């Protein structure tokens, strides 16, 4: 799947960029609750998910009183 075919935003995830969205979609992750079920290292291991995406996701999780599993 080309990143051009990936929506700019999916589910209730904040805008983190198409490469990161593509990686999360490929892993079946479409919600912040699903993100919270993973650790930072697991997400960073996905091709397309970098430190900036992790910071954005962490801020969104914090706003909802959630955290990564690690």
For residue 9, the model assigns a pLDDT of 72
For residue 8, the model assigns a pLDDT of 65
Domain containing 13 equals: 3-63
Domain membership flag for residue 52: yes
For residue 10, the model assigns a pLDDT of 81
What's the CATH code of the domain at 54?
1.10.150
Q: Which residues contact 39 (CB under 8 A, 6 or more apart)?
A: 68, 69, 70
Domain membership flag for residue 14: yes
Domain membership flag for residue 16: yes
Structure tokens at 35: 């993100």
Number of domains into which the chain is organized: 1
Domain membership flag for residue 46: yes
Domain membership flag for residue 70: no
Domain membership flag for residue 69: no
One digit per residue, the tens of pLDDT, for the chain of length 70 reads 555 666 667 889 999 999 999 999 999 999 999 999 999 999 999 999 999 999 999 999 999 999 999 8
Q: Which residues contact 8 (CB under 8 A, 6 or more apart)?
A: 15, 18, 21
For residue 7, the model assigns a pLDDT of 64
């Amino acid at each position: 799947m080309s990143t051009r075919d990936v929506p700019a935003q999916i589910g209730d995830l904040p805008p983190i960029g198409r490469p990161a969205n593509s990686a999360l979609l490929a892993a079946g992750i479409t919600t912040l609750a699903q993100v919270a079920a993973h650790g930072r290292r697991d997400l960073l291991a996905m091709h397309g998910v970098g430190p900036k995406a992790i910071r954005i996701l962490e801020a969104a999780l914090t706003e909802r009183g959630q955290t990564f599993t690690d």
